[in-house]
């Protein structure tokens, strides 16, 4: 298994639950044990999708079964052993939105 940037996986997160996550670390760095992942949720999407640090993803995007929100501010390293199964891959535009939200969340482009 060698996850690539933009792939959506079901992951056992350290908090004790399984949900989709988007691999955002560069593919070249994903050969090690830890990968950077943005978790997704399908709860409270109307409220959450209004925030700049979240990205609304429509059902079937990257294999998601329901409209979901990528919670970019919750980015975390995840051990590859916690990856369960691949759902799909985000399109170039959707991945760009997630990475742009990440840049905003870490103040990569200060004003």
| pLDDT value for 111 | 59
110 domain residue, yes or no: no
2 domain residue, yes or no: no
Number of domains in the chain: 1
59 domain residue, yes or no: yes
1 domain residue, yes or no: no
51 domain residue, yes or no: yes
| pLDDT value for 15 | 79
Question: Distances in Å between the alpha carbon of 104 and those of 23, 54, 55, 78, 109?
Answer: 18, 10, 12, 22, 7
111 domain residue, yes or no: no
The CATH number of the domain holding residue 84 is 2.30.30.110
pLDDT along the chain (111 residues), means of 10: 93 90 93 94 91 93 96 95 96 96 84 59
* Domain limits for position 32: 7-105
């Amino acid at each position: 298994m060698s996850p690539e940037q933009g792939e959506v996986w079901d992951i056992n997160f350290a908090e004790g639950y399984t949900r989709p996550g988007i691999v955002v670390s560069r593919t070249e760095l994903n050969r090690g044990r830890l990968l950077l992942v943005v978790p997704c949720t399908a709860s409270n999407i109307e409220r959450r999708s209004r925030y700049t640090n979240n990205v609304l993803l429509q059902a079937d995007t990257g294999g998601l079964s329901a409209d979901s929100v990528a919670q970019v501010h919750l980015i975390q390293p995840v051990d590859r052993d916690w990856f369960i199964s691949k759902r799909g891959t985000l399109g170039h535009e959707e991945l760009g939105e997630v990475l742009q939200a990440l840049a905003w969340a870490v103040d990569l482009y200060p004003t």
